[in-house]
Amino acid sequence: MYEGVTLKDEKKENAIVWLNIDNDTYEDKKWNNLFFTPRDQLKELIKFSVKEGADIVIVDVNFGYTVGPESSNDYKTGDEDFKKFLETYSQKSGRKAKIILAGTFDYNETYRCVEKRESFLDEVVFGDIYWGDPMFHVEEDGTIRRFQLWEPICSTKSGQVIPSIPLLIKILKNTEESIKKGSNLHDFSPDCLKIKLTDKEIRKRIIYSMPWKPGKKDPVETSEFLKVISAGKTCDCKAEDIKGKIVMIGGSHDDCQDFCKTPLGWMPGSLVIINAIHSLLHFDENKEGLCWWKKISIFTLFVIIISFFFTRFDSFKACILSNMAIVVILLFLMILFPTRLFLLSPDVLYSFVMPWIIVNILNSLLCFKDFIFRSGD
């Protein structure tokens, strides 16, 4: 077991444990060094996570096809047992961990839309089991810098929207239970949500805080956000390592063919998802802007201050004093509401502060020019 790269002052309920199917695990005889994830071992990892009190379990494995040759009954039996396990889990009553399965999506050239690949698990994904979108937006240089909040697909006549894994985590972690019970979190239908399916605003930047450093063994002496545990060494886990955490089950072994190019270098797809989850939980930009009466109030305050000084003093002095007064007010608001980061609010910054700065700089230059001209006379 080894520690991942971590951050200070993170909420424990948002911490993630990565059960990493690494090279050591992959080469173990229990896993048979197969080209797919053995369903029996995957079932044991999920059962372990649920038993230890995980809040949410993410399974980053391709379920878009049944494993093994058609003639192999052992592989088919593994699929059937795994399906039966999830079906039984969905039917259980009471509070239990939510399970998010990574869906597989293909682009349909004929209809020019994205389709979800059929899976042998489609029939058992209900209740506390969800499909999540693990896809990312790839830039022209092949680097992943953004993820989509949801994936519009054309699997049905009316259309469908599959939420991304980070968005599902955000909803399941931060939404009241009464709201979640009355909502369909398995998919969003066009009837309940009007969106532009091609709108680029659904893409959110990933703040990469956890680089991929294979072989890192040094413990990190800070409060943790990410703990990486080898999937083959879960027996070394302590109860507090899993309880109440988000558990990611995914691979980083050499044959997983799931490595992505990021600004921090190549990293496993599971770690990219973890960084995306962290970005949405801790650097969420989807903040509601100021309401109309607050905007009018701020604008009116600025007008009153400027008007007061320009009616009492000449242009040059009024410009200097009004600028100083507004700066003092803004500094006072920053001191009074330090946690709100008033000046960093995009709505305030772009609607008031930036235009005010530009106008006042130009006005100050004109006043200064007029002052020099009159002084020369």
| pLDDT tens-digit readout, 220-254 | 333 468 888 888 888 878 878 899 899 999 988 88
Measured CA distances, 119 to 60, 189, 333 (Å): 14, 20, 54
**What are the φ and ψ backbone dihedral angles of 21, each rounded to 5 degrees?**
-80, 85
- Res 376 pLDDT > 60: no
pLDDT tens digits for range 176-220: 554 444 445 555 544 444 445 455 556 788 888 888 876 554 443
Q: Can you read off the two tokens belonging to residue 206?
A: 């990933």
Mean pLDDT throughout 130-134?
91
Q: Which residues contact 359 (CB under 8 A, 6 or more apart)?
A: none
pTM for the whole structure = 0.68
The reported pLDDT for the residue numbered 201 is: 54
Domain ranges of the chain: 2-282, 292-376
Instruction: Indicate whether 344 pLDDT > 60.
Output: no
134 vs 319, higher pLDDT: 134
Count of H-run helices and E-run strands, the chain: 11, 16
- Residue 183 is predicted with a pLDDT of 47
Q: What share of the chain has pLDDT > 70, as a percent?
A: 66
Residues 6 or more apart whose Cβ sits within 8 Å of residue 219: 3
Q: Which residue has the higher pLDDT, 91 or 65?
A: 91
pLDDT higher than threshold 70 for residue 306:
yes
Question: Which candidate, 130, 168, 176, places its Cα nearest to that of 149?
Answer: 168
Helix (H, G, I), strand (E, B) or coil at 188: strand
For residues 353 and 69, what is the distance between their CA atoms, to the nearest angstrom? 64
Check residues 78 and 191 and name the one with the higher pLDDT. Answer: 78
The residue-averaged pLDDT of 104-124 equals 83
**Quick check: 304 pLDDT over 80?**
yes
Q: How far apart are CA 104 and CA 218, in angstroms?
A: 35
Arithmetic mean of pLDDT over the chain: 75
Judged by average pLDDT, the poorest of 37-46, 185-194, 223-232, 346-355 is 185-194
